[in-house]
Structure formats: structure tokens, C-alpha cells
């Protein structure tokens, strides 16, 4: 089955069969777990659960939970135990997209080929849906869906505190503030890199840390995985910017050139598409270099890095 | 010093000196702790930290953290250790007010005598400020500000999971959904009571549970305190509805009769002001009855219940 059909990364390269099979299996596990974690739409108040499920099951790539599961396995863990926590990371990502798409922020009508949450449920419910998903993420970090699993509450608490720091005003939310407040408009590459690290990189980095911390990895392994996450996150944002200029809206599932219409400073605009591509390649090389000490165990993350570079959506 | 000056509850009754002194001391401790927990406005991105502090230090009554501290002391704890966690409850309350006030929800311009957050910082930053405060609350539950304290991470994780459940789509957020989706419009008292329990009661109940759980109270004490919280929360909401009809906007710090203009179904409107008052009194009696097994140790919570009934703001 071509990777397109697996839905994680549409790309020009051919994926190895073991890569395709790994992604497909993990994605199934993640979707099953998400289905069990997010309340059913039959539960009152129905509209919020419908709306939560609308956005959670809108065809996301599941990049963050897959990274957490992969890091966990590399560090010696058995995937099933980490699934609810890994899904919490996806819920945080989904909440941030719903709020970012609101008319008072990026004002986007389409996301992953479907109308954005507020277009379907209205702005009030969209704000509350984001709030509910963020809160549910912490339930997942702190024991929801953990029955029968072996993760210690003590370790979960340590991890959840780390994710909260990465998601708050000095992380994900801070990055979005810089983005809408137009901070990168000083047109300094360093400011743009900080914005992008906070907005995208930190949650990707902490997804890898999640796997490492929960598997009780040693310091060196934690450093390797976190370093990979930081570089991968930056590469991911740069390719996003490039796709926003060169991509086609059907593959992307959202409008292209929306950055320019929002007058956003992007890597593609600041460096030019070609030089941005060079930069993305350098990040990917650095990401793979971070994995070197882990050897063959890290094969999946290495292959994934190549696909981030080649992705079309 | 009259209780007015202490700022927790403006009322017609005279408070006992020990009550006034207790509230004033705890409030100072809570404000100091909040000041250390919320990042300074000098930290980038400055605007979000300014905005977070604007709403956190806008003269809130600190009811939820005071309830947590009081329950903790009743169950044998020493106040200082619980302060960061208690402040996390206030941050959740503050985030929920900022989002509730948004134009896409209740569309309120004034809160506690000051312009609402979105009136000062704009809607985008207001949404993100709420998001950041909710996230910061979980940092507080999970270790922020805990250096040198004796609370076990294991207990904190258990507690934070409980608060998350009370704050999410089956709690606080669910109540707000019912409120804006007009659920109580079936004009059933039971629907209104459910809405109000989810929207206000559960966080008040869990504030008392927070103190009890962290002090490792036995089941009977936990039940007494949680029962008190449930009844107090309902009384609080009923008096809120009454004040919205009979209060003056100066004491309230927000527009009166806003419920009627939003066509909200309230206790005052459904039962009439007089009958709603009878109902509030019955809730307060029930709240105090819940405390009976705790004896004199619970003096503060008993006095507090009386003031909820008599409050003017």
C-alpha cells in the first residue's frame, strides 16, 4: 500500500515496507485509543462531544503521538502502555489548531480538507471545544485510559508538568501570541526561528521526550531524542512555509498562499523558497545526526525525517 | 477592619474578627503565591504575561483557593504546602471567566469593575490568555512552586486528574456549553440545577476535595467537605442570579440584569426572587449540615456559608 493511503505523509519518495507498516499499525492503535478517550456524542452535552470528535477525527497525521510511541519503543518501552499519554499530545495539537483557526486569530475556513470547527459549530462552541480537548489531554496524562497499565503516577506527573510547560505561555501559546502579535515582523531570522520553535518545535520535542521519560531512558538517550525533535520541528515548519507557497490546496486540505494574505513573515518569504529548502535539508541532516548514538534502533525516526523533507501536505 | 475592605464578600452581616483575620491572611498568601507563579510581564512574549496578570489580579474573591486551603487545614495540613495547587484552582476560574466574557459567548464588557480582558487586549489574545492560564494551572498542580514542599507527586497526579475531570466537557466546560446552547430553556428546574452544578458547583466542590485529598483525609471527612462544596456552589449560583436582578452594578462590578438581556433562564426568573432566596437558604442549611461531623474545626466554612447568603457582590 502506498504511503499516501496510510495518510501520514504524502510524498514523492518510496517508503520502505517496514516504514509503511509501522506507521499504519501505530496509527490504528492511536485512533482506537482516541476513540476510547474522547467521550461519545451520545453523552450530554452532546454538541461538545460531537464537536470534539469532529476535529479529532478529521484526518490528522498523528505525527506527535507516533513520535512519542517511537521514542518510547527505542528506549525500551512496549507501545500499549504509552498510548493514552501519546493521544494526549494529539489532543493538545488539535485544540491549538481549533483556536488558531478562529476568526480572531488566523481566520481559516478550511483545515485538512474540511470546514474548520467554528465554521460547523460556531465560534463559542469552537472555543469551548479547544478548552475541553486541552483539559482532556491532562486527564489522559494523569490516568485516563491507564487502567491495567504499568506507568507510575509519579512519572506521569513529572511528564505532564513538562508537557504543560511546553504548551503554555512560554511554549505553544507563546508562539501563537508572537505569531498573531506580528513579532517576526522585525524580519530577523532568529525571531522567526524562536516563534516557530515555540509554536511547533516544542510540542514535537516534548513528544519525543514523553516517550523517553516514560521509558525511563538515560540522559544520553533523552538528549538524542529531544535534539532530533527540535531539528525535526524546525524542518517541519520550514517545509510548511514552502508548501504554503508552492503546494496545491487539494493535497494540503487548506488554502495555499494564506500566509501571504495574512501578511505573515515566513521562512519561504524571508529566505526565498530555494534557500528555505536548503535550510530544511540542513535541519533534517542535523536531526538524523542527533540519532546517531542510538544506531539501528532509531531506523523509523531516520526514515521519517526524510519524509518530512519530501512531504507534499 | 470591615470585611468590605478584605474584599472577599461584601455583606450586610458583621463578620467575626477571627473570620475577617483568617480571610485576610489567606488572601495575602494566595496573592503572593499567584504573583510568584504567573510569569512577569518582562518575560517574552510580554503581552500574554501582561494580559494574564491583568485578569488574575483584577480583584477576584479567591473563593476557590480559600476553600482548598481551609479544607486542607481542617483535614490536618499546613497551609503553605497547598498554596501553589490552590492557586491553580484560581487560574482555572480566571481562564473560564475570560472565555465566558468573549463576544462569541456572553459578550460582557465589564467584570469586577474593569473592562473585560478582550476589551483591553483584543479577542485573539484573550482566547490565548485563557489557554495559557488553564495550562499554567496544570503546571501548578504538577510541581510548579512546589520546591521544598512535601506533597508527593503521586498524590498531586491523582488530584490533578480529578480537577481535570471537573474542568472538562463533563464539568465546567460542559456547563458553559449548556449555558450558551440554551439547554435550561426547557425551563426545568432540574436542567438548570445540572447546568449550574457543572458550571459553578463542580469546581467549588473539587476545591474542597483538593484540600481533603492532599491532606490525606479519611473518606468521611472527604464526603463532608465535598457535600458542603456541592451545596455551597448551588447557593452561590442562586444568589448570583438574585443579585443579577436586585443588585447594583457598582457593588457587582458588572452590568445588572444582563441575564435577562441574554435571555438566560435563571433561578430568580424561574422561581421568582423570593422563592429563589428560600432555595438559597435551604442550600446553605444543607451545606452547614454536611459539616456537622467535623465539629468546631469547620468554623470558618460555616461562617463563610452565611456570608454567601448575604453577599452583595
Closest CB to A48: pick one of B125, B143, B173. Answer: B173
For B39, which DSSP code? P
SS3 content of chain A, % helix, strand, coil (to 5): 75, 0, 25
Cα(B169)–Cα(B200) distance, rounded to whole angstroms? 13
CATH 2.160.10.10 fits A17-310, yes or no: no
Whether residue B253 lies within 8 A of chain A, CB to CB, comes out as no
For B198, which DSSP code? I
Position A12 scores a pLDDT of 53
pLDDT(A2) > 60: no
Is A124–B144 a contact, with Cβ atoms under 8 angstroms apart? no
Is the distance from CB of A54 to CB of A106 less than 8 angstroms? no
Q: Cell numbers 504554503 correspond to what residue?
A: A244
Q: Cell numbers 495550562 correspond to what residue?
A: B135
Q: pLDDT digits over A131-183, tens only?
A: 999 999 999 999 887 765 667 788 899 899 999 999 999 999 999 999 888 76
- Mean pLDDT is lowest, of A201-205, A209-213, A306-310, for A306-310
What are the backbone dihedrals phi and psi of residue B6, each rounded to the nearest 5 degrees, phi first? Answer: -75, -20
Q: What is the DSSP string of B228-286?
A: HHHHHHHHHHHHHHHHHHHS-HHHHTS-TTHHHHTT---HHHHH-HHHHHHHHHHHHHH
Q: Which of A239, A286, A287, A247 is nearest to A267 (CA)?
A: A239
Closest CB to A173: pick one of B44, B128, B154. Answer: B128
Could you tell me the pLDDT band of residue B110, with boundaries at 50, 70 and 90? very high
Q: Which has more confidence, B266 or A92? A: A92
Partners of residue B11 on adjacent β-strands: B311
Kindly tell me the sign of the dihedral angle through the C-alpha atoms of A45, A47, A51, A53: positive
Say what the pTM is.
0.94
Is the distance from CB of B209 to CB of B161 less than 8 angstroms? no
3-state DSSP of A2-66: CHHHHCCCCECCCCCHHHHHHHHHHHHHHHHHHHHHCCCCCCCCHHHHHHHHHHHCCCCCCHHHH
Count other C-beta atoms under 10 Å from residue B154's C-beta.
14
Q: List C-alpha distances in Å: B6 to A212, B18, B33, B62, B249.
A: 48, 13, 18, 11, 19
Position A260 scores a pLDDT of 67
Q: Give me chain A's average pLDDT, please.
A: 90
Q: Cell numbers 465546567 correspond to what residue?
A: B172
For A242, which DSSP code? H
Closest CB to B136: pick one of A127, A139, A168. Answer: A168
pLDDT(B206) > 70: yes
Closest CB to B181: pick one of A47, A123, A132. Answer: A47
Q: Which has more confidence, B245 or A38? A: A38
What are the backbone dihedrals phi and psi of residue A170, each rounded to the nearest 5 degrees, phi first? Answer: -105, 15
Position A226 scores a pLDDT of 97
Q: pLDDT digits over A106-130, tens only?
A: 999 999 899 999 999 999 999 999 9
Q: Per mean pLDDT, which of A84-98, B254-268, B297-311 is the most reliable? A: A84-98
User: Would you give the end-to-end CA distance of chain A in angstroms?
Assistant: 18
Q: Which of A100, A92, A64 is nearest to A232 (CA)?
A: A64
Q: Is the ipTM of this complex over 0.90?
A: yes
Position A247 scores a pLDDT of 77
Q: Cell numbers 449540615 correspond to what residue?
A: B289
Q: Element (H or E) spanning A141, and its range?
A: helix A123-141
Q: Residue B105, CB half-sphere, CA atoms under 13 Å: how many? A: 26
Count other C-beta atoms under 10 Å from residue A142's C-beta.
29
Q: Which has more confidence, B187 or A217? A: A217
pLDDT(A26) > 60: yes
Q: How close, in Å, is residue B51 to chain A by CA atoms?
A: 11
Is A180–B132 a contact, with Cβ atoms under 8 angstroms apart? no
Q: Where are the beta strands (DSSP E) in A44-143?
A: 110-111, 114-115
Q: Which residue of A has its CA nearest to B166?
A: A135
Cα(B243)–Cα(B218) distance, rounded to whole angstroms? 37
Partners of residue A11 on adjacent β-strands: A311
Chain A partners within 8 Å of B139 (Cβ): 161, 164-165, 168
C-alpha cell at B254: 458588572
Is the distance from CB of B99 to CB of B130 less than 8 angstroms? yes
Q: pLDDT digits over B122-137, tens only?
A: 999 999 999 999 999 9
Is B173–A132 a contact, with Cβ atoms under 8 angstroms apart? yes
Is B169–A45 a contact, with Cβ atoms under 8 angstroms apart? yes
- Mean pLDDT is lowest, of A10-24, A46-60, A249-263, for A249-263
Rg (CA), chain B: 18
Q: Which has more confidence, B202 or B186? A: B202
Q: Which residue of B has its CA nearest to A99?
A: B127
Is A169–B104 a contact, with Cβ atoms under 8 angstroms apart? no
Cα(A270)–Cα(A188) distance, rounded to whole angstroms? 9
Could you tell me the pLDDT band of residue B7, with boundaries at 50, 70 and 90? very low
Q: What average pLDDT does this structure show over B63-72?
A: 98
> B41, exposed or middle or buried, with CB in 10 Å at 0-12, 13-18, 19+?
middle
Q: Which residue of A has its CA nearest to B137?
A: A164
Cα(B286)–Cα(B297) distance, rounded to whole angstroms? 18
pLDDT(B258) > 70: no
pLDDT(B252) > 60: yes
Whether residue A41 lies within 8 A of chain B, CB to CB, comes out as no
Percentage, residues of chain B above pLDDT 70: 88
pLDDT(A6) > 80: no
Could you tell me the pLDDT band of residue A78, with boundaries at 50, 70 and 90? confident
Task: Put residue B64 in one of left, alpha, beta given phi > 0 → left and psi -120 to 50 → alpha.
Answer: alpha
Q: Which of B203, B200, B271 is nearest to B234 (CA)?
A: B200
Q: What average pLDDT does this structure show over A255-271?
A: 77
Chain B partners within 8 Å of A45 (Cβ): 169, 174, 177-178, 181, 183
Cα(A220)–Cα(B122) distance, rounded to whole angstroms? 44
Q: What average pLDDT does this structure show over A245-261?
A: 69
Position A68 scores a pLDDT of 98
pLDDT(B146) > 80: no
Q: How close, in Å, is residue A193 to chain B by CA atoms?
A: 14
Cα(B274)–Cα(B259) distance, rounded to whole angstroms? 17
Is B177–A39 a contact, with Cβ atoms under 8 angstroms apart? no
Domain boundaries, chain B: 25-310
Q: Which has more confidence, A13 or B159? A: B159
Whether residue B46 lies within 8 A of chain A, CB to CB, comes out as no
Cα(B62)–Cα(B33) distance, rounded to whole angstroms? 12
Chain B partners within 8 Å of A153 (Cβ): 153-154, 157-158
Q: Which of B43, B59, B54 is nearest to B122 (CA)?
A: B54
Whether residue A147 lies within 8 A of chain B, CB to CB, comes out as no
Position B1 scores a pLDDT of 33
Chain A partners within 8 Å of B44 (Cβ): 174, 178
Count other C-beta atoms under 10 Å from residue B22's C-beta.
21
Is the distance from CB of B198 to CB of B237 less than 8 angstroms? no
In sequence order, what are the residues at sequence separation of 6 or more whose Cβ sits closer than 8 angstroms to the Cβ of residue A31? A57, A62
Count other C-beta atoms under 10 Å from residue B136's C-beta.
29
Whether residue A124 lies within 8 A of chain B, CB to CB, comes out as yes
Question: Which 3 state secondary structure label does DSSP give B186?
Answer: helix
Pairing of strands B110-111, B114-115: antiparallel
Q: Give me chain B's average pLDDT, please.
A: 90
Identify the residue among B140, B141, B160, B169 best suited for mutation to test binding to A, counting A beta carbons within 10 A and taking the highest: B169
- Mean pLDDT is lowest, of A15-19, A197-201, B5-9, B182-186, for B5-9
Q: Which has more confidence, B167 or B312? A: B167
The CATH class for the domain spanning B25-310 reads mainly alpha
Q: Cell numbers 535541519 correspond to what residue?
A: A283
Position B183 scores a pLDDT of 67
C-alpha cell at A33: 485509543
Question: Which 3 state secondary structure label does DSSP give B111?
Answer: strand
Could you tell me the pLDDT band of residue A1, with boundaries at 50, 70 and 90? very low
Q: Which has more confidence, B7 or A114? A: A114
Amino acid at each position: 500500500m502506498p504511503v499516501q493511503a496510510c495518510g501520514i505523509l504524502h510524498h514523492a519518495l518510496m517508503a520502505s515496507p517496514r516504514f509503511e507498516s509501522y506507521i499504519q499499525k501505530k496509527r490504528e492503535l492511536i485512533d482506537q485509543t482516541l476513540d476510547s478517550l474522547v467521550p461519545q456524542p451520545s453523552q450530554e452535552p452532546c454538541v461538545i462531544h460531537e464537536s470534539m470528535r469532529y476535529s479529532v477525527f478529521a484526518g490528522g497525521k498523528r505525527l506527535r503521538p507516533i513520535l512519542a510511541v517511537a521514542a518510547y519503543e527505542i528506549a525500551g518501552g512496549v507501545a500499549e502502555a504509552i498510548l493514552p499519554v501519546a493521544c494526549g499530545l494529539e489532543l493538545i495539537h488539535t485544540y491549538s489548531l481549533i483556536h488558531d483557526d478562529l476568526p480572531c486569530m488566523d481566520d481559516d475556513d478550511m483545515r485538512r480538507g474540511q470546514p474548520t470547527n467554528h465554521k460547523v459549530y460556531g465560534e463559542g462552541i469552537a472555543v469551548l471545544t479547544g478548552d475541553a480537548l486541552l483539559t482532556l489531554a491532562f486527564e489522559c496524562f494523569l490516568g485516563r485510559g491507564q487502567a491495567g497499565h504499568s506507568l507510575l503516577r509519579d512519572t506521569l506527573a513529572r511528564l505532564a508538568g513538562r508537557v504543560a510547560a511546553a504548551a503554555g505561555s512560554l511554549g505553544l501559546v507563546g508562539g501563537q501570541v508572537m505569531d498573531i502579535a506580528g513579532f517576526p515582523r522585525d524580519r530577523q531570522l532568529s525571531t522567526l526561528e524562536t516563534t516557530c520553535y515555540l509554536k511547533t518545535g516544542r510540542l514535537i520535542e516534548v513528544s519525543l521526550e514523553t516517550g523517553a521519560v516514560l521509558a525511563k531512558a538515560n540522559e544520553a538517550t533523552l538528549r538524542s531524542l529531544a535534539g532530533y525533535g527540535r531539528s525535526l520541528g524546525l524542518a517541519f515548519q520550514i517545509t510548511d512555509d514552502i508548501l504554503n507557497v508552492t503546494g496545491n490546496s487539494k493535497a494540503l486540505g487548506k488554502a495555499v498562499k494564506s500566509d501571504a494574505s495574512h501578511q505573515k513573515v515566513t521562512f519561504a518569504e524571508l529566505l526565498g523558497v530555494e534557500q528555505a529548502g536548503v535550510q530544511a535539508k540542513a535541519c533534517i541532516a542535523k536531526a538524523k545526526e542527533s540519532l546517531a548514538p542510538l544506531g539501528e534502533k532509531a531506523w523509523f525516526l531516520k526514515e521519517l525525517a526524510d519524509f518530512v523533507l519530501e512531504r507534499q501536505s
